[in-house]
Amino acid sequence: MEEANSLSEILSKDLNKLSKAELTEMRRNGLIQQRDPKFFICRLSIPAGVITAEQLEIICKLANEYGNGQVHLSTRQGIQIPGVPYERLSEIQEKLKENGTPTWGCGPTIRNIIACPGYPECKYANISTRKLVYRIKDFIDKRKLGYNLKGKFKIAIAGCPNSCANVYSNDIGIIGVVKPRVKEEICNGCKVCVAICKEKAINIVDEKAVIDFEKCVCCGDCIRLCPFDAIEPEKEGLTIFLGGKQGRHPSLAKKVMEFADEEMVLSIIEGAVKIFEKEGLADGVRKERFGALIERLGFDEIKSLIYGEEDDR
Ligand code: SF4
Ligand code: SF4
Ligand code: SF4
């Protein structure tokens, strides 16, 4: 693979002769130079933060053998092995690749995609977040998206509007949603749904439940909890948010689409990453985030660049 070759070339060089661009390429591949420049952190790609117990055991063994015996659990659901000497990076990298937990993802690239547990573990989940993460990761890898970014780009997925994966503080946030519909012929006005709706979006009118969609966030709780199965899904899908970030100047992502399907999610990710590659600014250490780009160009302009002005989605 082209990137691996160029990385292996870099790793065959003397550490003191590495250029800034080569160190950046190493960071993109998850090899991050520490304060003591002879040592590196190996950041592993762990989409959705899920690996098997066997993979975890091997990571621990490698941390003992190559690193300082510690592992660091990163804020993006990844695992990092600190304290690896430069001359041992090639070896540990190969072993991590064999383990299915390759190093990847610092600097100007698409970072580890994070997700809440989702379906089936979480009883509130409307989607399998893990399946969606794997699909997005596969799409990004096959299309080699994000190889020319000037800054970082983060994606997060939550299985319901509770947003346990902090989707609003990522460049792209995705939430699984379901719109409820009351089956009037079955509803008996028992008020269970009124009590459980956290948004106070349900009222009883003429002994039937009525949903106020100005308040409803499409969490699906009422569908699951009506004791008479009197509420059904009218439509299901994904709400997509753009432009959130944390860091020095945090800001929340804005909604760009509701009830999207997975194809639409992939197309928005591709569009957003390409716009960010093309239009994002970088000036030395100052790298524009996608949210700042949205502010600079305007949300409507970004939307039209992603899926065309004539499209009223
Ligand atoms: S966001 Fe929803 S589905 Fe995901 S863990 Fe939280 S409550 Fe469960
Ligand atoms: S819980 Fe079900 S049956 Fe009871 S009021 Fe709500 S929709 Fe109707
Ligand atoms: S889907 Fe959630 S927010 Fe909407 S009415 Fe039902 S319980 Fe309330």
pLDDT in tens, 191-230: 999 999 999 999 999 999 999 999 999 999 999 999 999 9
**Residues 309, 313: Cα–Cα separation, whole Å:** 10
pLDDT of residue 285: 81
**Atom number in ligand 3 closest to CA 211:** 5
Question: Which residue's CA lies nearest to atom 4 of ligand 3?
Answer: 216
DSSP state of 112: P
**Neighbouring-strand partners of residue 202:** 211
Separation of 189 CA from ligand 2 center, angstroms?
5
CA atoms within 13 Å, Cβ hemisphere of 95: 18
Q: Which ligand is nearest to the CA of 204?
A: 2
Ligand 3 pocket residue status of 216, Cβ below 6 Å = yes
In CATH, what number does 177-237 get? 3.30.70.20
Ranges of each domain in the chain: 2-98, 114-176+238-307, 177-237
C-alpha–C-alpha distance, residues 137 and 143, integer Å = 10
- Per-residue confidence band for 308, with pLDDT thresholds at 50, 70 and 90: low
Distance 244 CA to ligand 3 centre (A): 25
Nearest ligand 3 atom to the CA of 217 is 3
| Shortest-distance ligand to the CA of residue 201 | 3
3-state secondary structure of 208: strand
Pocket of ligand 1 (CB under 6 A): 116-118, 122, 124-125, 158-160, 162-164
Q: Do domains 2-98 and 114-176+238-307 have the same CATH topology?
A: no
pLDDT tens, 70-128?
Answer: 999 999 999 999 999 999 999 999 999 999 999 999 989 999 999 999 999 999 999 99
Q: What is the distance in A from the centroid of ligand 2 to the CA of 231?
A: 7
- Is the pLDDT at 254 greater than 80? The verdict is yes
Q: What is the dihedral of CA 284, 290, 295, 299, to 10 degrees?
A: 150
Q: Which of these CATH numbers, 3.90.480.20, 3.40.50.1370, 3.40.50.720, 3.30.590.10, describes 2-98?
A: 3.90.480.20
Task: Tell the residue nearest (CA) to atom 6 of ligand 2.
Answer: 193
Ligand 2 in reach of 230 Cβ (< 6 A): yes
Q: How many CB atoms lie within 10 A of CB 273?
A: 24
**Which amino acid is located at 75 in the chain?**
T
- Which pTM does this prediction carry? 0.93
CATH superfamily to which 114-176+238-307 belongs: Sulfite Reductase Hemoprotein, domain 1 (3.30.413.10)
Is the Cβ–Cβ distance between 48 and 77 less than 8 Å? yes
For the chain, give the percent of residues with pLDDT over 70. Answer: 96
| 3-state secondary structure (DSSP) of residue 55 | helix
Give pLDDT, residue 257: 95
Instruction: Say how far apart CA 86 and CA 158 lie, in whole Å.
Output: 37
- Which residue is it, tokens 């998850």? 30
